[in-house]
């Protein structure tokens, strides 16, 4: 157990920040949820640590757990009732206008969870279409289609963002 | 195009707040999950063996103690499950596969012997709350003023469901309260205030010794983000060979209370409850 703790602790220290960024994007721009996702993921990694460490598959497993947890999370009714857009307490909105980062977060938050996961895995985690398909348990055709739709939706949301988002408030 | 999208996503993670993950808490979560998994595995094997034995007996016509009269089965109802009685002072808290806990026949207590406690349901929460309050009652301990067990809307999803986990209500929000008891030495102890990785002293951590000679440790993790909870963890290595970890923590959100709800003295008093002895 001490070996496991030491090795796992080293992994946690080196990867937690990076994992949280991915979790943040997967969760649609909520740092609190991102941290919850990372904690959930890390606890599962700890359980399977000897095998994952031996196989060199820790990062892949972490991505898989995190993506599934994020999608499950977004499917829960109580999450759907919440407005992710309005739960960004640490950012706020500048009175003079909408910050670019906030625009992107809000656009991400408006993507369906599955589509968002494809965009994050393909363009943030740099996974190939085949790797993304394997991770999400979908066909390569579906991944290509969702990536394309996701990017198109992001572009549209960002292009019309200020009017769209400000119109929501 | 990939780079463009990546730049766009990088923009979204700009201005990230400091990481508030506590390594010790994550490792403690992982250990609990590991214990649950091992307990489930042993429970599953036991169930398979039981089914095999019962099936074999049935198929062979009940070679032993065969009765010609078929007795009606007892009704199966969760409401028939007896509530935990006020626990005797030496009743073990839970079953675990890591170390023999007790040969005490009282381990048949339904709450302590259930190998598959649901981990994320209201039932689990209420059972745990009842068990905790039974233990406290036996030790003449009551919730401090302003704190009570939450009996409505107590269901939860949490990675930190400990051996016993209950949601507490206070005037300013809810808190999580968990108790984890295990035989000293059955797993790595967290009694020292030293980092498991580099051996350096941990911040906001103190080691003391109780009047009876028990080893005591208190660790407080202060939040680095708004709304995140203060996490207080007390560990006692008791002279009876039991180590108890008690946690006062919370979820994140408006319904939760960030500051600790229970005093360090109270947490130590819980950790010293005789009913938590592992035998």
pLDDT tens, position by position, A86-100: 444 343 333 333 467
Rg, C-alpha atoms of chain B: 22
Which of B9, B37, B159 lies nearest to residue A123, judging by beta carbons? B9
pLDDT per position as a tens digit, A157-169: 887 654 333 333 3
Q: Are B85 and B131 in contact (CB under 8 A)?
A: no
For chain B, give the mean pLDDT. Answer: 68
Is B63 a domain residue? no
Q: Are B116 and B44 in contact (CB under 8 A)?
A: no
- Domain range for residue B252? 93-276
- A129-136 vs A58-75: helix crossing angle, rounded to 10: 60
Give the angle subtended at the CA of B26 by the CAs of B20 and B29, to the nearest 5°: 140
- Domain range for residue A51? 2-168
Total domains in chain B come to: 1
C-alpha B15/C-alpha A53 separation (Å) is 32
Q: Is the pLDDT of residue A145 over 90?
A: yes
Least confident of B24-28, B108-112, B178-182: B108-112
Which of A9, A39, A101 lies nearest to residue B29, judging by beta carbons? A39
| Predicted-complex ipTM score | 0.78
- Which residue(s) pair with B246 in the sheet? B179, B234
- Residues in chain B whose beta carbon is closer than 8 A to a beta carbon of chain A? 2, 5-6, 8-9, 11-17, 19-21, 23, 25-27, 29-34, 37, 159, 187-188, 196-197, 225-228, 252-253
Structure tokens at B36: 């649950």
Are residues B11 and A108, on separate chains, in Cβ contact within 8 Å? Answer: no
Least confident of A50-59, A120-129, B130-139: A50-59
Is B55 a domain residue? no
Q: Are A122 and A129 in contact (CB under 8 A)?
A: yes
pLDDT per position as a tens digit, A11-20: 888 888 889 9
Each as own residue / partner, the long-range contacts of residues B104-108 (CB below 8 Å, 24 or more positions apart, any chain) are: B104/B279
Q: What is the CATH number of the domain that holds A16?
A: 1.20.140
Are residues A35 and B12, on separate chains, in Cβ contact within 8 Å? Answer: no
Q: Find chain B residues with C-beta within 8 A of A119's C-beta.
A: 5, 9
Total domains in chain A come to: 1
Q: With 0-12 CB in 10 A as exposed, 13-18 as middle and 19+ as buried, what is B40?
A: middle
Q: Find chain A residues with C-beta within 8 A of B14's C-beta.
A: 101
C-alpha B69/C-alpha B26 separation (Å) is 55
Interface test with B, best of A76, A123, A132 (most B CBs within 10 A): A123
Give the angle subtended at the CA of B28 by the CAs of B24 and B32, to the nearest 5°: 170
Is B57 a domain residue? no
């Amino acid at each position: 157990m001490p070996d496991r703790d030491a090795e796992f602790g080293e992994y946690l220290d080196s990867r937690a920040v990076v994992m949280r960024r991915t979790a943040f994007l997967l969760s649609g721009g909520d740092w609190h949820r991102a941290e919850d996702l990372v904690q959930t993921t890390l606890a599962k990694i700890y359980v399977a640590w000897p095998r994952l460490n031996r196989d060199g598959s820790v990062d892949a497993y972490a991505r898989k757990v995190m993506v599934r947890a994020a999608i499950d999370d977004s499917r829960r009714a109580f999450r759907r009732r919440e407005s992710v857009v309005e739960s960004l307490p640490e950012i706020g909105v500048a009175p003079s206008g909408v910050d670019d980062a906030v625009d992107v977060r809000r656009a991400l938050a408006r993507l369906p969870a599955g589509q968002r996961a494809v965009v994050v895995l393909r363009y943030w985690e740099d996974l190939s279409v085949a790797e993304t398909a394997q991770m999400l348990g979908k066909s390569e055709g579906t991944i290509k289609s969702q990536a394309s739709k996701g990017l198109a939706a992001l572009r549209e949301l960002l292009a019309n963002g200020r009017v769209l988002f400000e119109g929501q408030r | 195009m990939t780079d463009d999208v990546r730049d766009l996503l990088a923009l979204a993670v700009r201005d990230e707040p400091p990481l508030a993950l506590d390594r010790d808490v994550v490792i403690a979560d992982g250990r609990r999950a590991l214990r649950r998994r091992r307990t489930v595995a042993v429970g599953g094997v036991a169930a398979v063996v039981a089914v095999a034995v019962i099936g074999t007996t049935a198929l062979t016509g009940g070679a032993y103690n065969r009765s010609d009269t078929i007795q009606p089965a007892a009704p199966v109802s969760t409401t028939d499950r007896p509530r935990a009685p006020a626990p005797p002072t030496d009743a073990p808290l839970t079953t675990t596969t890591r170390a023999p806990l007790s040969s005490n026949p009282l381990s048949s207590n339904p709450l302590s012997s259930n190998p598959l406690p649901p981990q994320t349901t209201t039932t689990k929460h209420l059972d745990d709350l009842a068990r905790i309050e039974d233990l406290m009652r036996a030790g003449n301990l009551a919730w401090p003023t302003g704190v009570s067990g939450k009996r409505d809307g107590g269901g939860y999803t949490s990675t930190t469901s400990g051996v016993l986990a209950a949601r507490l209500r206070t005037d300013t929000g809810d808190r999580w309260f968990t108790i984890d008891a295990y035989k000293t030495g059955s797993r790595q102890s967290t009694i020292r205030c030293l980092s498991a990785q580099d051996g350096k002293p941990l911040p906001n951590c103190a080691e003391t010794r109780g009047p009876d000679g028990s080893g005591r440790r208190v660790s407080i993790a202060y939040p680095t983000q708004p709304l995140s909870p203060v996490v207080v963890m007390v560990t006692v290595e008791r002279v009876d060979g039991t180590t108890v970890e008690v946690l006062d923590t919370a979820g994140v959100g408006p319904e939760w209370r960030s500051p600790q709800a229970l005093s360090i003295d109270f947490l130590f008093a819980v950790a010293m409850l005789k009913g938590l002895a592992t035998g």
